[in-house]
Amino acid sequence: MRPVAKSSLLWGVVGTLTFLVGAQGYRLLIGALPTGYIGMIAIGLVVETTVGTVSYVVEPRLAAKGRT
């Protein structure tokens, strides 16, 4: 696996876990969300796909400019 692809997958996992922890924190501190657990997992998968895609596209551009 190419290092850029591996990095993108890991960033996607980090984004998903961050979203899910934030959603659970909201449920604990403030109250119920409009979605259940299945909805949160679905949104987490969308977050993972988005973050992974954006990091896959942006990381080589940043590396070319010497910003990573």
Residue 63: inside a domain: no
- Using CA atoms, how far apart are residues 7 and 10, in angstroms rounded to an integer? 5
Q: Does 9 have pLDDT greater than 90? A: yes
The residue range of the domain holding 39 is 32-58
Question: What's residue 68's pLDDT?
Answer: 62
Number of domains in the chain: 1
Residue 20: inside a domain: no
Q: Does 1 have pLDDT greater than 90? A: no
The whole model's pTM is what?
A: 0.81
Residue 15: inside a domain: no
Tell me the pLDDT tens digit for each residue of 11-62.
999 999 999 999 999 999 999 889 988 999 999 999 999 999 999 999 888 8
Tell me the pLDDT tens digit for each residue of 11-20.
999 999 999 9
Residue 51: inside a domain: yes
Tell which residue, 57, 42, 68, 65, has the closest CA to residue 8.
57
Residue 45: inside a domain: yes
Question: Going by C-beta distance under 8 Å and a sequence separation of 6 or more, which residues neighbour residue 64?
Answer: none
Residue 43: inside a domain: yes
Q: Is 31 exposed, middle or buried (0-12, 13-18, 19+ CB in 10 A)?
A: exposed
Both tokens of 26, joined, read 């909201």
